[in-house]
């Protein structure tokens, strides 16, 4: 879903650009009426082309707005990739957790709590990263600690087979953890790009909207000038869109 911060700015940009384009000739005429008497033709002075300036500023602001929208869309698309990666990680976590929980019960039943504590020190973690580290410890202990005689005749744990199973599950979990971390890094990159686009837009908007507002005042369009005046409270928006009193 598009960011409200961006869509609010988009609305104000469209309003300012439209006001500039529609009123360019009217402002030019007003400026000519105001300044013509003060021209010194002996010095080669000529009236400024305010209308073209307004149209060019409008195009520049529209381009900045489109860049901001594109950055917002890229960030939203990147965020959409996060959920599948997190679900895959959580699924791998549950498999590894279930296997370790089952192993604890089996070890306790066959060899007692003291042996189990040697192989599986502490509680089974509920955090995916910590669980992967815990699994590594259990795998290491299974390879190094000799299991005593079982308390249940004919029932034993195949340490090598269990170690292999845990290792496979743990490696799958670690891969999914890295995938989530990668998505987080990519989201941070697109967020930074979006923030940069917004900052650039805000700076340009403040200048364009401020200049346009003053030019409209010169043209006698006080009401419109107040509407396109940049907000002093919400960057990238007009006072009207920000709900401020003129």
Q: How does residue 246 score in pLDDT terms, banded at 50, 70 and 90? A: low
Total structural domains within the chain: 2
User: Domain for residue 43, yes or no?
Assistant: no
Phi, psi of 185 (to 5 degrees): -65, -40
Domain with 164, as residue range(s), is 83-177
User: Domain for residue 234, yes or no?
Assistant: no
Residues 29 and 109 in one domain: no
- The predicted model gives 115-135 an average pLDDT of 97
Residue 245 predicted with pLDDT over 80: no
User: Domain for residue 23, yes or no?
Assistant: yes
Residues 75 and 148 in one domain: no
- The predicted model gives 70-81 an average pLDDT of 94
User: Domain for residue 212, yes or no?
Assistant: yes
User: Domain for residue 240, yes or no?
Assistant: no
Residues 165 and 99 in one domain: yes
Residues 159 and 200 in one domain: no
User: Domain for residue 246, yes or no?
Assistant: no
User: Domain for residue 244, yes or no?
Assistant: no
Residues 64 and 100 in one domain: no
Residues 109 and 128 in one domain: yes
Residues 98 and 172 in one domain: yes
C-beta of residue 216 within 8 angstroms of C-beta of residue 224: yes
SS3 134: helix
Q: Can you list the alpha helix ranges (DSSP code H) found in the chain?
A: 4-35, 50-80, 82-111, 113-119, 128-144, 159-218, 222-228
User: Domain for residue 69, yes or no?
Assistant: yes
Residues 71 and 191 in one domain: yes
Residues 25 and 94 in one domain: no
Could you tell me how many residues make up the chain? 246
Residues 6 or more apart whose Cβ sits within 8 Å of residue 208: 16, 20, 57, 58, 60, 61
Q: What is the pLDDT of residues 146-184, one digit of tens each?
A: 999 999 988 999 999 999 999 999 999 999 999 999 999
**Which of 177, 203, 237 represents a domain boundary (last residue)?**
177
Residues 54 and 132 in one domain: no
The mean pLDDT of the chain is 95
Residues 139 and 104 in one domain: yes
Residues 125 and 192 in one domain: no
Q: What is the pLDDT of residues 88-122, one digit of tens each?
A: 999 999 999 999 999 999 999 999 999 999 999 99
- The predicted model gives 217-239 an average pLDDT of 93
Confirm whether pTM is higher than 0.95.
no
For residues 81 and 142, the model is more confident at 142
Token pair of 240, please? Answer: 């009207």
């Amino acid at each position: 879903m598009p960011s409200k911060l961006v869509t609010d700015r988009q609305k104000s940009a469209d309003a300012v650009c439209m006001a500039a384009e529609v009123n360019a000739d009217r402002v030019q005429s007003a400026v000519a009426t105001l300044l013509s008497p003060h021209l010194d033709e002996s010095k080669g002075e000529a009236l400024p082309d305010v209308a073209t300036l307004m149209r060019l500023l409008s195009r520049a602001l529209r381009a900045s707005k489109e860049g901001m929208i594109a950055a917002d869309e890229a960030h939203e698309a990147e965020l959409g990739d996060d959920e599948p990666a997190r679900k895959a990680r959580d699924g791998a976590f549950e498999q590894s957790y279930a296997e370790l929980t089952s192993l604890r019960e089996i070890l306790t039943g066959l060899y007692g709590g003291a042996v189990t504590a040697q192989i599986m020190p502490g509680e089974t973690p509920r955090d995916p990263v910590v669980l992967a580290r815990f699994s590594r410890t259990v795998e290491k202990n299974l390879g190094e600690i000799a299991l005593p005689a079982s308390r249940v005749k004919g029932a034993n744990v195949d340490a090598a087979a269990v170690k292999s199973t845990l290792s496979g599950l743990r490696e799958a979990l670690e891969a999914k953890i890295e995938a989530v971390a990668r998505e987080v890094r990519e989201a941070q990159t697109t967020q930074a790009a979006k923030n940069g686009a917004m900052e650039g837009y805000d700076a340009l908007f403040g200048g364009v909207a401020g200049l346009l507002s003053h030019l409209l005042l010169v043209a006698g369009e006080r009401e419109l000038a107040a509407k396109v005046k940049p907000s002093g409270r919400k960057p990238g928006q007009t006072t009207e869109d920000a709900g401020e009193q003129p």
